[in-house]
Every structure is written in structure tokens, then in C-alpha cells.
A and B are shown apart, each in its own frame.
Chain A
Amino acid sequence: MSDDYRDNKIETKSADSSSGSYVPSADTIPAQEIPDQELYHAKSFWTKWVFCQDAKVIGVQYALTATAIGFIGLILSWGMRLQLGFPETFSFLGPATYYQSVTMHGMIMVIYLLTALFLGGFGNYLIPLMVGARDMVFPYVNMVSFWMFLVAVLVLIASFFVPGGPTGAGWTLYPPQAILPGTPGSEMGIVLMLVSLSLFVIGFTMGGLNYVITILQSRTRGMTLMRMPLTIWGIFTATVLALLAFPALFVACIMMTLDNLLGTSFFMPEIFTMGEKLDYAGGSPILFQHLFWFFGHPEVYIVALPAFGIVSDLISVHARKNVFGYRMMVWAIVIIGALSFIVWAHHMYVSGMNPWFGFFFATTTLIIAVPTAIKVYNWVLTLWRGNIHLTIPMLFSLGFIVTFVNGGITGLFLGNVIIDVPLSDTYFVVAHFHMVMGIAPLMVVFGAIYHWYPLITGRHLNQTLGKIHFWVTFVGAYAIYFPMHYLGFIGVPRRYFEMYDSPYMTSGVGLNQFITVAALVVGFTQILFLYNIFTSWYKGEKSERNPWKANSLEWHTPDYPPTHGNFGKELPVVYRWPYDFSVPGSDKEYIPQHVSPSEVPAAKAEQT
């Protein structure tokens, strides 16, 4: 980890070799390039807490909105599980409502919960603090971004109340069925869904430009890219992916809206229904699939990369050890991000394509396993001989590694054309993507909330409730999704309202009931978690400053919790990476990023 830094190496002299005391010179850290950012200072309650331009408040607004809509997604999943587990007992869900639940559950969880929470929530809160900026570079645009997101969520919710209800086309919204009668919500539901997605993309672009430019152009003195916490690397790369992938979704949404409202035939082939020819002709449904998955596959990594980054930091802090192979981790994130743009058609193996294309996309898909495996090894090696504190963030991080490996390996199955074809559209696929991009990132979300909650509120979450939350969620997630792999192997198709007495359901009935019970238990535990969050806000145990003894800048602000402007009068100056734990030779257990070499003369720190 040695590199030249503006031609002035930061000399870190060890105790035995230093003849005199180390004199820090002014040129060790370059002068400030950027004039100090002017901030908008709110004067009223409305501009301070509602139409707020402070990225920290916007982050919390994003997180709360995403959580609220996420709970609607959770409740929808209960309805589906009750129907699947006990089809005779619970008949309140008709086939149409079932499809609508499936669709809304999927879209809410992927876009409105995970994407918004990781990038809008954690991104807004952590980026300025971690890179040492006063705020995002365009606070006003950042504020508009949140309100755009809120409108998108409200439009989505409105679709529950229009005639015909929300769309039931499946979260992939494949045409032609999405906009034809027979699919629930083909009247207004699909239109509102497409409008909501378009608004989300516009809102996200406003926020995303802020995240990218803040990281690239507004770091504090001494904060090089290779000294940023991996959390920032994950969020940064995911934001770049989102800025390049969401356009495809946006275009697909516009074209399908026009197909629906104006009667164009972008995605609509010649169709006969009830013996009558419709007015559509000549369009290509496959074109939609390409556009959708050109967005859809990077979307997986838009959710996963921030999780990768955050979990690296959690593991490092709670195991009191530096991240193993920091540079490798950074490059793995970037390479995964780049590769994610050339694998999209592995979602379309059964749509029909030239076999050589299948070969190409299978190859690129499997290549992604290499940087991903590097990351998993590095997490394990970070833990190896570390001083592992089994705090709740650490428990969730360990849970993440296990679930992610599990979901990743089933991904290798599905990446192969020949194995994917029989497994396609079965519960194996459902189990795979819930493990890899549902449970695994959510584990990180939970770990991150337990980790940063003291920073945001100044109080700890209740530890007992937290432990219950972890164990029930972790064991419960396996109870839900492990049997689903088996259901997939015996051929149970996904998205079916009821299996009736299909031959493969002999062993499937009991399993489905078991999964449903587990899903209800796990779901109720999330309500316990919500209770914990709200009660601990004013009743939780007070946290001392920097309770986890972390090195990154967000824990070392003059005010705790950090206030508007983040860093008081002077921005911090950064001398090292955020992973100087248990540095050999130093009597300090951890060395924060802003501690200069002269303050810890004995530390044999690596040059970063």
C-alpha cells in the first residue's frame, strides 16, 4: 500500500528509527483547493425539518419513506404466503389480487425500498460525513430529489385505489400482457406504475449527480480516493451504475406508456384476442425485455455494491482489524460494476436467442463470480485472527456473508444456460434472488442501522431486541428460502396462484405451510425492529461519542450527533485510511483518519 502522494511521501517513522522528533511540515498535506462551501441556513421549522437542504435530514427522510413503503411490501408478502401455504383456509386473496401482490411486492422491495434506502438514505447521510464535506454539492437539488421520490411513492400507492387496482403484470412488467385486458390493473394500474417509475428515475438522477460529484469533487484535504471508506466506494459505483442503467428503464416506461395510452406498437406484436384482431402490429416484446434487463441487471448491483461496501466497514470495525486487500476490494467493486452491464441477457435465456449469445452471456455472468469471490475471501480474511466483537452489526455482517455465498452459488447454477432452462420460472429462482439480493443486502441494512443509529440519534438501539431481531431474521430467512430451493428442483412454478393437486405437490404442501409460518414470524420480528427504532429514539441508552471506536470521519465531528455543516469551523485533514486498527508499534488501539503521523510516532502504519 505504498504510493506517492503529490510527490510528497507521508513519512511515518517508527520509534526505533527516528533519531529526532517528527516535525510535521505544512506541505505534507496539500493546500485547500476548493473554497469553503456556502450553506443555506434554515430559519423556520419548515425549512429545517421538512423542506430541508441538509443531506443528513434528507437521508433520514429517504430512509423513513423507504421503510414505510417497504412495510407495505412486507404485508403484501404475508398475503401471498397465506394463500400459498393454506389455499383452502385463506380465500380472501383472489387470483387477481395475488398477482397484484406479487408485482407490487417485487417492485416496492427492489426499487422503492432497497435502492432508495441504500443510495438515498445511507448515501445522503454518509457521503458528506465520510469524505469530509460540509454537505452535498447541490443541497437544493438534493432536496428536490427527495420530494420527487416521495411523489413517486405516492403515485405508486395511488395505484392501489384506482379502478382495476395496481398492475399485476409481475415486477418485470413484460408486454404484451402488462397492458392487455386479462392482466389485473391493465386499466390504470400499469399507467401509474410506469409514471411512478419515471418520476423515481428523474428524482434519483438529481440525487445521484449529487452523490457522484460530492465524492469526486468535494473531498476534504488528504482524502484521496484510495483513502475513502469502502462504504463510499460501494455507494459511488452503485450510483454510477444507476445513472447509466436507469435511462433504459425510463425509455422502456415511456414507450410502454405510449403503447398503452396512444396505441403505438413499440412492444406490441399482432395479437388476436377473443377471436378479434387488436389494432397493434409489428412491435417487439423482446425489445422491452432487453431494455428492462439492461436496467434490471445493473439494478442487482445497485443494491449489492453499497451492501458490499458497508459490510466491509462493519466487519473491519467490529473485528478491530484492517480490511484485507483494500485495493483489491476497490477494484473488485469497480470491475463488478463494469461487468454488470454486459450480462443482462442471462435473464432472457428462455426468451429465445441465438445460442452464441447465450454462450456469451453465460461466460460474462460466470466471470463476475471471480471479483465477487475475491470479496468474500477478503471478508473472511479480515475476520481471520481478528478481535471479533459479536455486536449486533457484526452478527448481521456474518449473516450477510453466509447468505450471500449461498445466493451467489445458486447464481452460478442459473448463469449456465443448460441448467437455467429447466430451473427457469421455478421456486429455485425465487429462492436464489431472495437470498442474494433480498436477504443479503437487508442483513447489511440492519447491521448498518444498528451501527450508525447512535451517530444519528445519540442513542443505542435496545440490544436484547436487536439480538432477537437478528436470530429470528437470520434463522427465519433460511427457514423460508432453503425449502424453496427444493420446491424449485421438484418443479414448482413461481407466480402460480394455487398448485391444486399437481403431482409435485405431494411433498410441497407441507413445505409451503412451513415456509408461510416462518415468513409470518420473520415479518412480525421486523415490526419488533420498527418498535425498537421508534422507542430507542427517545428512550434508548445514551451512546458515548464514537461507541464502536471507528476511524472514519463521521464519528469524529465536533458535535455529536453531527449538526448542519458537519464539521464546525475547520474541515478535518485526513492523513490515513480508515482501517488503522491495532497498528503494530502503536499504543493506541485505533488511529482515526484525521490523526497526523506525528501524533502517533511509534505506529508502523502502512502508507495509503
Chain B
Amino acid sequence: MSQFDLSKLPQGSKGFMHDWASDQRAFKGVPWGKAMMWIFLLSDTFIFSCFLIALMTARASTTVDWPYPSEVFGLTVFGTSVPLLLIAIMTFVLITSSGTMAIAVKYGYEKNRKLCGWFLLATAIGGLTFVGMQAFEWSKLIFHDGVRPWGNPFGAEQFGAFFFMVTGFHGTHVSIGVIFLFIFSRKVFRGDFDTGRRGYFTSMKSDYEAIEILGLYWHFVDLVWVFIFAFFYLW
């Protein structure tokens, strides 16, 4: 890729036309893995959109009252009930982990092996904390409040169904991300991206671009959480 100079390409709308009319690559200078992740995320966006649109349909057409979220998701701390306390902390942790991820990507590009690895680890721990708090939230709703996928004491039974399905699907995304974050922090610490060590399954070399691709996924998962937060907890 050495002889290919991105800075010589035309810019703006002319550049857009040029790139799409050119040979070899439509997205100039974009590695395959990164382009793939973007398109995957587009596809995944459609999945979450379908979930959330289905939620809106159920909520708009319910004949039984929809539970009042700030009561359902409140916590009682030192005798005072604080609405949305746990969710606020969870959201804060997840958004913060997006920040550490961005720093990890930066150190990855600087080939700063140690710091990149540590920030990846911090991101993984942030994600793990989020999943742990989600498990706490679920168990409180299930065992304490008696919310079930097929019914709940607060109102429309679709509430529990959608809650467990959507947060569960998102939680699965976070968990997968956490697993990959741990794997990649190990790979970074071991120096796989510096020595060109080959992957266990694919037997292909990789480099620090992989960290950015993982970062794209992680930011996406955080962004989706913002929408779930808005539609479930604030609406």
C-alpha cells in the first residue's frame, strides 16, 4: 500500500464520485475488516430497530396501562427511593468504557503495546461491570418485584417480555464484546500485533487495525444502549 497516496485524491463530492468510479476499492484506504464491521453494524442496526419499533408498536397499542418506568426501575437507598439510580450508574459505566476504548485505539495506532493493552483491559472490566449490574437488575426485577416475561404486577404484560428480550439481546452483545476485549488485550500484551503472530483459527497475521475494528463494535453497542435507555427508561 506504500505507493498509494490518499492525500492526492480529490476531496468532497468530486472525491465521492471519483472513488466510486474508480477501480480496486470504493472506500479508499479503508481496510477490509473495517469496511466489513461497518456493514455488519448497519445490519445489526436493523435488528435493534426492529426490536425497538416492535416495542413502540406494543406500547402504542396496549389496552392495559404501561408500567411507570421510574417506579419500576427505582432503587431505595438509605430510606429514600431514587428513580433510575442503577440505570444511571450502568449508563455512566458503559459510556466511560467507550472513552477508555477510544484511548486504547489511540495507543494502538501509536504502537504503544502496554498502554493499549491496559486500556483494553479497563474497557473489558467496564463492560463486565455493566453486565454484572444488569444481572443484579434482572434478579431484582425477577425475584423481588415478580416481573416475568409473561406478566408483571405493574401493568401490560408486554413490558416484561420486551424488557428481558431487548436488554438481554443487548447484554449478549456486551458480553460478546467483553470476551473479545479480554482476548485482544491478551493478544496486545503478548505482542501479537508487533511480531505478526498468526491467529489461532484463521492462521492470518493481524495488526493494530483490529483494535479499531473492535472499537467500532464497542462504540456501537454503547450507542444502542443510549437508544434502549431512552425508549425503555425515559419514555
User: Which residues of A are at the interface with B, using a C-beta cutoff of 8 A?
Assistant: 3-6, 29-35, 38, 40, 137-138, 140, 205, 209-210, 212-213, 216-227, 243-244, 246-248, 250-252, 254-255, 258, 262-266, 279, 281-284, 287, 291, 294, 574
Contact = CB atoms under 8 A, between A and B. Distances in A.
Contacts, number: 150
Contacts of A34: 1, 24-25
B40 A205 contact: yes
Given A212-B39, A282-B62, A220 B149 contact: no
Interface of B: 1, 3-4, 18, 20-28, 30, 32-33, 35-36, 39-40, 42-44, 46-47, 49-51, 54, 57-58, 61-64, 149-150, 156-158, 160-162, 165, 169, 201-205
Contact of A243 (B24, B43, B49, B61): B43
Contacts of B44: 247
A244 B49 CA distance: 11
A138 B36 contact: yes
Given A282-B156, A283-B158, A220 B40 contact: no
Contacts of A40: 202-204
B50 A31 contact: no
A4 B154 CA distance: 65
19 contacts: A5-B22, A30-B23, A40-B203, A40-B204, A138-B36, A209-B36, A210-B36, A217-B26, A218-B24, A220-B24, A224-B22, A225-B20, A248-B46, A255-B54, A262-B149, A266-B161, A282-B63, A283-B158, A574-B23
Contacts of B63: 282
Contacts of B36: 137-138, 209-210, 213
Contact of B30 (A6, A217, A224, A243): A217
Given A255-B54, A262-B149, A287-B57, A216 B157 contact: no
User: Which of B26, B36, B202, B203 counts the most chain A CB atoms within 10 A?
Assistant: B36
A281 B54 contact: no
A140 B30 contact: no
B161 A248 contact: no
A contact patch SS:
loop
Nearest to A240: B39
B202 A140 contact: yes
Contact of B165 (A4, A219, A254): A254
Contacts of A243: 39, 42-43
A496 B203 CA distance: 55
Nearest to B3: A31
A6 B22 contact: yes
Given A137-B32, A140-B204, A225-B21, A216 B26 contact: yes
B191 to A, nearest CB: 20
Contacts of A281: 157
Given A248-B50, A258-B165, A283-B58, 4 more contacts: A34-B24, A205-B43, A224-B23, A254-B169
A265 to B, nearest CB: 6
A222 B23 contact: yes
Nearest to A250: B47
Contacts of A6: 18, 22
A337 to B, nearest CB: 15
A244 B1 contact: no
Q: State the 5 A-B residue pairs at the shortest beta-carbon distance, nearest first.
A: A264-B161, A247-B46, A251-B50, A263-B150, A247-B47
Contacts of A210: 36
B32 A265 contact: no
A206 to B, nearest CB: 9
Contacts of B39: 209, 212-213, 243
Contacts of B58: 266, 282-284, 287
A262 B24 contact: no
A500 to B, nearest CB: 40
A221 B25 CA distance: 9
A548 B44 CA distance: 42
A9 to B, nearest CB: 13
Contacts of A218: 24-25, 32
User: Which of A3, A247, A263, A281 counts the most chain B CB atoms within 10 A?
Assistant: A247
A294 to B, nearest CB: 8
